[in-house]
Amino acid sequence: DGGITQSPKYLFRKEGQNVTLSCEQNLNHDAMYWYRQDPGQGLRLIYYSQIVNDFQKGDIAEGYSVSREKKESFPLTVTSAQKNPTAFYLCASRKKSSGNTIYFGEGSWLTVV
Partner 1 sequence: KQEVTQIPAALSVPEGENLVLNCSFTDSAIYNLQWFRQDPGKGLTSLLLIQSSQREQTSGRLNASLDKSSGRSTLYIAASQPGDSATYLCAAPMDSNYQLIWGAGTKLIIKP
| Contacts to partner 1 by CB under 8 A | 4, 6, 31, 40-45, 48, 50, 56, 58, 88, 90, 92, 94, 98-99, 101-107, 109
Give min distance, CB of 16 to partner 1, in A.
Answer: 27
Give min distance, CB of 74 to partner 1, in A.
Answer: 15
Toward partner 1, which CB reaches closer, 41 or 84?
Answer: 41
Toward partner 1, which CB reaches closer, 18 or 26?
Answer: 26
Give min distance, CB of 80 to partner 1, in A.
Answer: 26
Strand order in the sheet with 19-25: 4-7, 19-25, 76-78, 64-66
Q: Do 24 and 32 contact (CB within 8 A), yes or no?
A: no
Dihedral sign for Cα 71, 77, 81, 84, please.
Answer: positive
d(CA 26, CA 19): 23
Give min distance, CB of 37 to partner 1, in A.
Answer: 9
d(CA 108, CA 7): 7
- Using alpha carbons only, what angle is made at residue 31 by residues 39 and 51, rounded to the nearest 5 degrees? 135
Toward partner 1, which CB reaches closer, 59 or 69?
Answer: 59
Toward partner 1, which CB reaches closer, 17 or 26?
Answer: 26
